[in-house]
Structure 1
Amino acid sequence: MTGEKKQTLCEITSEVEAYFNELSYHKVRIRVYQNGWKRLKQFMEEQRTEIFDAKVGDAFITNILNKRSYTELSRKEKDLIRSTNVLIEYQTTGMIKFRSVRKDYNFEGEIGNLMQNFLSYRKAQGMSKDTIASNKLYLHRFLSYLNSNKILSLSGLDKQHILGFINVLGFSSKSTIHCTLSSIRGFLRYLFDNQYLDYDLTYLVPKSSYKKEARLPTTYTKDEVERVLATVDTASPKGKRDKAMILLAARLGLRASDICGLKFENILWETNTIHLIQKKTKEKLELPLLVELGNAIIDYLKYGRPESDLPYIFLRAGQPYDKLEEPTLHSIVSFYLKHANISNIDHKKHGPHALRHSLAGILLEQKTPLPVISEVLGHTNTESTKTYLRIDLESLRECALDVPKIQSPHYQGGELK
């Protein structure tokens, strides 16, 4: 990229978000940029400007500064300026010179080393990366609390320190309290089970009654999914790749992890089937290789995929031609969803999982039995699939009951007396 090009704000932010994901930016940091871009979007709407360029970005920054120096700005205002500058830098140079670095948690001392051992143990148990990252975050906070109270060895740890740390959680969110208590409880149990502690101190950690509320799955109609697919320009190698990946999510409901991890050995061309072991559930899954999907994959392999000895089907469009990662696929799907002229798009999920949900919704509309949907989506049981019953509005309407008449002298003819 040698100079500026005409791009809408949605186009440039989608490209930068994909760039961040390829460089493994932390999702929390990306969210800071996304919040800044929302403010920039509001500014552009007020200015009645659709095309983003350096001049628009500078005007937004000038509006934030409001005749103040940079040092006078709040942290949030500085983030807004940084969010705008990365768009300008990427649009003009094709890269961003400085990138955020993930925070490295140091677990020092006897207790810190034991926490590291616990995290390694959890990893060996097959716990997900997100779970281990959560444990690491909350245990590091516990370790910092102990260090601040001069508790540097396990022999100095007693119930007053555990209860003291729990008490300081009072102003945290319910989810944070729940995750923190769970992490500490697991760590203490590990210490006792491995005889680092003579007493099981898990009884000191209260059990949280917090339950994550199940959200209504984001879905798109069959027509909206077709519009997304029609948005993809298959004239380019990148478009050929993107079309095949979106079809895997929209037609077969594959998760992002399974799409990115798809290998040549998973496709049996002689039987027109796809065989794989799901990354999330470790369960085997067999799905039909639909004609439309098969043709899209062949088109990409013949005319779009870079030369590589890697066993993975989908690779990055630019050098280095490595395996495509899940966050990048999320940004790709998000880009096309936002360009498909779908109403109310800002209040919906934009990733490949939304296409998976949409497939479930479309199958429900076609009166497909729940066990069949469960098999298609690769669920280990139909209980996981039942959450989609909440989005089948037509069937729910059929379950509606008439409101019985109220036999009361105070209620007559539809009105209170």
Structure 2
Amino acid sequence: MTPAADEMLAGFLNQLKFEKRASAHTVKSYHRDIGRLSNYCNEKLILSWIDLKQNDIRAHIAARHRKGMSSKSLQRELSAIRSFYTFLLKNRLAEINPAQYVKAPKQARNLPKTLDVDQVNGLLEAGTSSALEIRDLAMFELFYSSGLRLSELSSLDIVDLDLVDRSLIVRSGKGGKSRVLPIGSKAVKAIDNWLQERSINIPAVDAALFVTTKGRRLGQRSIELRLSQWCKKKGIQEHIHPHMLRHSFASHLLESSQDLRAVQELLGHSNISTTQIYTHLDFQHLTETYDRAHPRAKKKPQ
């Protein structure tokens, strides 16, 4: 690149630092990202920023992708390049933004990890030996029974449950939305056992459904730790976190009902595309079953 090109980049970085008041970290990141594009230009004998074309930006991003850069990182680099060219356009140092319509490769969507039905049964039928374990079992049953988020379970108050009607109301769902959910019979029984224990041995300090031995609301981190301790004590080797119970609820329900809209409502997803990830889990299960069972699909032994 020419000295003039280096001056343009320096001017952009100064604008970020002094006019935009960007953090030192942001300025450093932009400098690094555009510096990589400068290296590409040097390799291709491109001397000026105005000589870069859309195909050059696309080729540069594709090369970065082949080196293992994530979609998120490439999106950040493209954002930095677009901002740089916006600066050049405003200062009449360029006529087009070659990065404007270039998109980063899509990130492969990671499927949520779930438990199978036998694993869930093993977790929830391990038995209790103390007041705290009675409480913990009620929490875990409710996670799986109603597909609650960790924050939603922690926020529940006793008045939010109707054990006769076998339902609960989530008042503080994601996005501030509330919803009414059914409670399964086993969860109702576990909660009833906990409420009896709570009324006898726990001081009535907080209206929360799940409280500490001192009657204070149980926090999200404490719930996570209790699940981890439960698994360790019951001899469950796999690392299980609360959201796995929510994922398992959704996957098992969809597998049995095939009703995507109903699962969306129960999970409290605003967009059905979020729920559709569980259709991939369901299909994954079906293909595994197919590979094991179909006489013309079984893999030959190695």
Q: Which residue of 2 aligns with 1:152?
A: none
List runs of 5+ in structure 1 lacking aligned partners. Answer: 1-109, 116-138, 146-161, 189-197, 404-417
Q: Which residue of 2 aligns with 1:164?
A: 31
Q: 1:339 to 1:360 in 2, by over 3 A?
A: farther
- Structure 2 Cα separation of the partners of residues 283 and 183 of structure 1: 33
1:356 aligns with 2:250: no
Query: What are the residue-to-residue correspondences of 1:104-115 with 2, within 5 Å?
Result: none
- Structure 2 Cα separation of the partners of residues 328 and 289 of structure 1: 23
Q: 1:309 to 1:179 in 2, by over 3 A?
A: farther
Q: Which residue of 1 aligns with 2:269?
A: 379
Give per-residue Cα distances to partners, 1:60-111, cap 9 Å, x unaligned: xxxxxxxxxxxxxxxxxxxxxxxxxxxxxxxxxxxxxxxxxxxxxxxxxx97
Query: What are the residue-to-residue correspondences of 1:308-323 with 2, within 5 Å?
Result: 308-317=204-213, 321-323=215-217
Which of 210, 217, 220 matches 2:115? 220
- Cα offset for 1:322? 3.6
Give 1:142's aligned amino acid: T
Q: Which residue of 2 aligns with 1:56?
A: none
Q: How many residues align?
A: 234
Query: What are the residue-to-residue correspondences of 1:5-404 with 2, within 5 Å?
Result: 139=23, 141-142=25-26, 145=28, 163-167=30-34, 174=70, 177=73, 209=104, 211-233=106-128, 235-269=129-163, 271-304=165-198, 306-317=202-213, 321-338=215-232, 340-341=234-235, 345=238, 350-392=240-282, 393=284, 395-396=286-287
When the two chains are superposed, the root-mean-square deviation of aligned CA atoms in Å is 4.1
- Structure 2 Cα separation of the partners of residues 285 and 350 of structure 1: 26
SS in 2 for 1:209: coil
Give 2:26's aligned amino acid: F
Contact 2:173 2:179 in 1 (8 A): no
Of 306-315 and 218-227, deviating more is 306-315
- Structure 1 Cα separation of the partners of residues 206 and 71 of structure 2: 40
Q: Which residue of 1 aligns with 2:41?
A: none
Give per-residue Cα distances to partners, 1:180-216, cap 9 Å, x unaligned: 669989xx9xxxxxxxxx99xxx89987725442112
- Structure 2 Cα separation of the partners of residues 260 and 183 of structure 1: 38
Percent of paired sites with the same residue: 21
- Structure 1 Cα separation of the partners of residues 204 and 226 of structure 2: 22
Give 1:230's aligned amino acid: E
SS in 1 for 2:276: helix
Give per-residue Cα distances to partners, 1:364-401, cap 9 Å, x unaligned: 34244222222222222432222112222454479999
Contact 1:232 1:242 in 2 (8 A): no
Contact 1:260 1:323 in 2 (8 A): yes
SS in 2 for 1:366: helix
Q: 1:169 to 1:359 in 2, by over 3 A?
A: farther
Contact 1:228 1:339 in 2 (8 A): no
Q: 1:140 to 1:322 in 2, by over 3 A?
A: farther
The TM-score normalised by the length of structure 2 is 0.60
